[in-house]
C-alpha cells in the first residue's frame, strides 16, 4: 500500500465512511466463520439433552469415516479433476479462435458468454428435460444420431455411471463463457510485437503458441483454473435440483451433505466441521495458486 498523501489523521471521518462495510464484514463473515470454527470442536446439536462439551477432533474423525461423506469429497475431486482441464481447454480454444480479429467475432462471443447470465438453478431444471430418458429425450437422440444408431437410450440422471458426467456437461455449458472472457482479455494484453519477433525468428503457429502465448497467459490461466476448482468444491445447485445426491450417492457433494446435515439432523457441530473441511479445501487450492503465480513473478 502506498503512503497517504497527507499526514493528517482521518480517523473520525473513516469511522463514518469505512465503518458500515467493515462492521458488515466482521458481523456477517468473520464472526460466523469463527463460530463455525469453534463449534466444529464441540457436540452442539439443536434440541439435544446432552450438555455442551468440547470434543476435540471427534466430529472430524466421525465425518471422515462416514462413507457417504468420503464419497462426497471424492465426487468433488473427480468433478474438479475432469472439469478444470476440460473447461479451461475449451475456454482457451474459444478465446484463441475469437482473438484472430475475424469478422463476426462479437456475435460468437455473445453466444458463448450468454449461458453465464442464466442462473444455475434454471439451467439445472431445463437440462433435466434435455436428459429425459427414453428414445425421445434430446441427449439420447443426439447420441443416437452421432453413433449412427448404436446408442441405447439411457436414463442419465438415474444411472450411477452417467449422473455425475451429465452434471459436468451442463456445468461446462454454463461456465465456459466466464473463463473465455478472462482469457480473451489476457490474450489481448499480449503485445503484438512479441508474436512478430517470434515470427521473424521463424517460429510457426504452434511454436508461437507454446513459447509466446502460453507463458504470457500464465497468470490468467492459473486464475481461471483456481476459480473453476473452487466452483467444483462449491457444487450444490445442480445436485440438489437434478439428483438429490443420488443415485447411490453418485452425485453427492460436500455442500450437499452439509445442507442435509443442517436440515435433516439439526447437528450444528457436524455441519460446522463440514464447513471447516470445505474451507480447508478452498484454502489449499488458493494457496497452490498464489504459490504458482508468485513463482512466475520472480522469474520475470
Interface positions, 168-197, toward other proteins (CB under 8 A): 173, 178, 181-182, 184-186, 195-196
CA 241 to chain centre: 18
Residue 78 or 293 having the CB closest to other proteins: 293
| 50 makes contact with other proteins (CB under 8 A) | no
Cβ 38 to other proteins shortest distance, Å? 9
Question: What's the grid cell of residue 278?
Answer: 470445505
| Residues 51, 250: Cα–Cα separation, whole Å | 36
Which of 272, 284, 243, 234 is CA-nearest to residue 80? 234
| Residues 294, 296: Cα–Cα separation, whole Å | 5
| 6 makes contact with other proteins (CB under 8 A) | yes
| Residues 33, 65: Cα–Cα separation, whole Å | 24
Q: For residues 220 and 228, is the Cβ–Cβ distance under 8 A?
A: no
| 286 makes contact with other proteins (CB under 8 A) | yes
> Which of positions 243-282 make contact with other proteins (CB under 8 A)?
255, 258-259, 262-263, 268, 271-272, 274-275, 278-279, 282
Cβ 289 to other proteins shortest distance, Å? 8
Cβ 249 to other proteins shortest distance, Å? 20
Q: Which of 24, 74, 204, 215 binds other proteins (CB under 8 A)?
A: 24
> Which of positions 198-217 make contact with other proteins (CB under 8 A)?
199
Question: What's the grid cell of residue 119?
Answer: 442462473
| 84 makes contact with other proteins (CB under 8 A) | no
> Which of positions 105-134 make contact with other proteins (CB under 8 A)?
106, 108-130, 132
Q: For residues 271 and 42, is the Cβ–Cβ distance under 8 A?
A: no
| Residues 156, 166: Cα–Cα separation, whole Å | 7
Residue 65 or 192 having the CB closest to other proteins: 192
Cβ 118 to other proteins shortest distance, Å? 6
Q: For residues 160 and 248, is the Cβ–Cβ distance under 8 A?
A: yes
Residue 55 or 262 having the CB closest to other proteins: 262
Cβ 116 to other proteins shortest distance, Å? 7
| Residues 60, 270: Cα–Cα separation, whole Å | 8
Amino acid at each position: 500500500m502506498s503512503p497517504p498523501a497527507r499526514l493528517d489523521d482521518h480517523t473520525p471521518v473513516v469511522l463514518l465512511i469505512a465503518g458500515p462495510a467493515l462492521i458488515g464484514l466482521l458481523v456477517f463473515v468473520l464472526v460466523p466463520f469463527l463460530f463455525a470454527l469453534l463449534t466444529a470442536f464441540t457436540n452442539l446439536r439443536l434440541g439435544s439433552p446432552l450438555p455442551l462439551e468440547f470434543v476435540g477432533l471427534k466430529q472430524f474423525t466421525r465425518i471422515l469415516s462416514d462413507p457417504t461423506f468420503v464419497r462426497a469429497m471424492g465426487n468433488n475431486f473427480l468433478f474438479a479433476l475432469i472439469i478444470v482441464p476440460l473447461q479451461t481447454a475449451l475456454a482457451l480454444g474459444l478465446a484463441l479462435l475469437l482473438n484472430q480479429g475475424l469478422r463476426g467475432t462479437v456475435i460468437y462471443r455473445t453466444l458463448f458468454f450468454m449461458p453465464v447470465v442464466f442462473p444455475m438453478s434454471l439451467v439445472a431444471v431445463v437440462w433435466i428435460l434435455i436428459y429425459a430418458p427414453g428414445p425421445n429425450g434430446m441427449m439420447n437422440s443426439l447420441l443416437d444420431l452421432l453413433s449412427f444408431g448404436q446408442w441405447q437410450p439411457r436414463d442419465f440422471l438415474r444411472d450411477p455411471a452417467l449422473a455425475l458426467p451429465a452434471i459436468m456437461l451442463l456445468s461446462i455449458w454454463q461456465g465456459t463463457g466466464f473463463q473465455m472472457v478472462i482469457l480473451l482479455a489476457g490474450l489481448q494484453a499480449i503485445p503484438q510485437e512479441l508474436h512478430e519477433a517470434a515470427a521473424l525468428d521463424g517460429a510457426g503457429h504452434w511454436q508461437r503458441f507454446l513459447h509466446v502465448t502460453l507463458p504470457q497467459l500464465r497468470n490468467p490461466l492459473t486464475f481461471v483454473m483456481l476459480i473453476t476448482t473452487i466452483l467444483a468444491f462449491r457444487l450444490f445447485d445442480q445436485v440438489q435440483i437434478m439428483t438429490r445426491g443420488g443415485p447411490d450417492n453418485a452425485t453427492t457433494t460436500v455442500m450437499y451433505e452439509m445442507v442435509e446435515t443442517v436440515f435433516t439432523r439439526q447437528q450444528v457441530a457436524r455441519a460446522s466441521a463440514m464447513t471447516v473441511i470445505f474451507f480447508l479445501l478452498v484454502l489449499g487450492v488458493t494457496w497452490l495458486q498464489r504459490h504458482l503465480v508468485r513463482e512466475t513473478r520472480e522469474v520475470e
